[in-house]
């Protein structure tokens, strides 16, 4: 083989696309039901947009972005996530002036140069939503309900929702100092990755996947005990709303998420059916981000969900059997003349919404019948000299074997 798919990327083959289309249609339907409208932004953006929003010190920006200089020597980056671009478009097109609350969603590929493993790709797909304009915890809960509703509509009801507050620019700096001091005490025992993060991104040390790190930091100070009045009130309201809706959740004081722009609410949805990469979706509030990117100070919240991981859960739970409908009719042509006639007829039928197929390989009658079976055609019509002369033929129902006499010039395929 001369060329192969690039490491960490995958073909989505025809046998899989029906399931993808189904997921996408459920996503769209649910997003519309919740009042979100689709936005499609370019696949690549100026590198600075991501560096500024996601944060220079995050894993994504420091080591995972596909960035390159284009021919005019401008640094561009294949988008590693959807929020930054959606907000850039929101600001650039003054969407906030059209309505005080802008609800957007997107579906599409994202790119991160991570170490490929099960559930972790370099080109993967996400759907996500952003609600820009409201500081209310009500919209935080709407975001969680929206994500959960999509999973439920797809038949997935075993997942866990974890929530936390990561504070804001008022309370987080003080907490960071306290956390750094605590981490310095155990620095020499931490994993190299966590050691590196102490000064730059200390909150991430708390969600280290390293078991030893987790044990060492079990008693580390948690941000929930250092929230300012505003963040505390926001978080308490959020919890009371979730309780009133009977939406099961768990408060996870160590949940910090990998992107710097979050303020207050952070949440993650995970599935026990996945392996070590068990996160299905993650989101949070980003009240400073619009301003950071050059817009007016505007609160916002969003989430993003991985489609490949969702597919893995659907596959494991056996809910994964979507197929494209088979052809309504397969013509079995007995000679070239009949083949030409059938060819014209397939076009005519397709134009009236009936999916018709013929054999393009000049195969024997037996092979054509086999092909009709392979494609699970609903009906077969054998056409030869006699049929063309009499303008009639026998339409065979492939399920029942029953044959009905039909007129070739007014072909009617039962639905
Ligand atoms: P994030 O944008 O990092 O918050 O990720 C949101 C969701 O996208 C995760 O919960 C995963 O389901 C999915 N995801 C993130 N990175 C990858 C990846 N490299 N490969 C596949 N799915 C991913």
Tell me: the pLDDT tens digits for 159-173? 999 999 999 999 999
Q: Can you tell me the distance from the alpha carbon of 274 to that of 221, in angstroms, rounded to the nearest whole number?
A: 30
Mutate to test the pocket of ligand 1, among 115, 304, 308 (most ligand atoms within 8 A of CB): 304
User: Between these two residues, 44 and 278, which has the higher pLDDT value?
Assistant: 44
Domains and CATH numbers, the chain: 14-171+227-317 (3.30.930.10), 329-410 (3.40.50.800)
274-290 pLDDT per residue, tens = 888 899 999 999 999 99
Tell which residue, 145, 153, 121, has the closest CA to residue 309: 121
The residue nearest atom 16 of ligand 1, judged by CA position, is 120
58: confidence class by pLDDT, cuts 50, 70, 90: confident
89-110 pLDDT per residue, tens = 999 999 999 999 999 999 999 9
Q: What is the pLDDT of residue 364?
A: 96
Mean pLDDT of 112-128: 95
DSSP H stretches of helix in 120-228: 137-153, 172-185, 192-200, 202-206, 211-216
Mean pLDDT of 247-260: 87
Q: What is the pLDDT of residue 140?
A: 98
Q: What is the pLDDT of residue 321?
A: 67
Instruction: Report pTM.
Output: 0.92
Ligand 1: centre distance to CA 81 (Å): 9
Strand-strand pairing, 300-306 and 279-285: antiparallel
- Please state the atom number of ligand 1 nearest to the C-alpha of residue 307: 12
Give residue ranges with CB within 6 A of ligand 1: 81, 112, 114, 119-121, 124, 126, 258, 279-282, 304-306, 308-309
Q: Can you tell me the distance from the alpha carbon of 395 to that of 407, in angstroms, rounded to the nearest whole number?
A: 10
Ligand 1: centre distance to CA 247 (Å): 23
The residue nearest atom 15 of ligand 1, judged by CA position, is 306
């Amino acid at each position: 083989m001369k060329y192969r798919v690039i490491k960490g990327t995958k073909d989505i083959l025809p046998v899989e696309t029906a399931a993808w289309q189904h997921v996408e249609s459920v996503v769209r339907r649910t997003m519309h039901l919740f009042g979100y409208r689709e936005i499609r932004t370019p696949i690549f953006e100026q590198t600075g947009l991501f560096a500024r929003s996601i944060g220079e010190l995050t894993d994504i920006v420091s080591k995972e972005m596909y960035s390159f200089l284009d021919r005019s020597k401008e640094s561009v980056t294949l988008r590693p996530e959807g929020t930054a671009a959606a907000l850039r478009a929101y600001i650039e097109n003054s969407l906030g002036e059209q309505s005080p609350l802008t609800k957007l969603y997107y579906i599409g590929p994202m790119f991160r140069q991570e170490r490929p493993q099960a559930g972790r790709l370099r080109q993967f797909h996400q759907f996500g939503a952003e609600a820009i304009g409201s500081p209310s915890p009500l919209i935080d809960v709407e975001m969680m309900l929206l994500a959960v509703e999509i999973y439920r509509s797809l038949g997935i009801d075993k997942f866990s929702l974890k929530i936390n507050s990561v504070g804001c620019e008022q309370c987080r700096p003080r907490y960071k100092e306290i956390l750094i001091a605590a981490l310095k005490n155990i620095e020499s025992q931490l994993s190299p990755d966590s050691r590196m993060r102490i000064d730059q991104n200390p909150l991430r040390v708390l969600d280290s996947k390293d078991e030893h790190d987790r044990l060492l930091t079990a008693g580390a100070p948690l941000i929930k005990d250092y929230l300012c009045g505003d963040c505390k009130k926001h978080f308490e309201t959020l919890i009371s709303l979730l309780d009133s809706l009977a939406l099961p959740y768990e408060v996870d004081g160590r949940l910090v998420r990998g992107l710097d722009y979050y303020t207050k609410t952070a949440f993650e949805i995970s599935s026990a059916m996945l392996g070590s990469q068990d996160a299905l979706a993650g989101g949070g509030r980003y009240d400073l981000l619009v301003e950071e990117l050059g817009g007016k100070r505007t609160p916002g919240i969003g989430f993003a969900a991985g489609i490949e991981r969702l597919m893995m859960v659907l596959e494991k739970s056996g809910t994964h059997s979507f197929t494209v409908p088979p052809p309504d009719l397969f013509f079995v042509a007995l000679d070239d003349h009949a083949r030409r006639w059938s060819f014209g007829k397939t076009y005519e039928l397709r134009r009236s919404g009936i999916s018709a197929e013929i054999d393009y390989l000049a195969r024997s009658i037996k092979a054509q019948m086999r092909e009709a079976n392979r494609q699970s055609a609903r009906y077969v019509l054998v056409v030869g000299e006699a049929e063309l002369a009499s303008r009639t033929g026998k339409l065979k129902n492939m399920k029942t074997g029953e044959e009905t006499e039909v007129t070739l010039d007014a072909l009617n395929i039962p639905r």
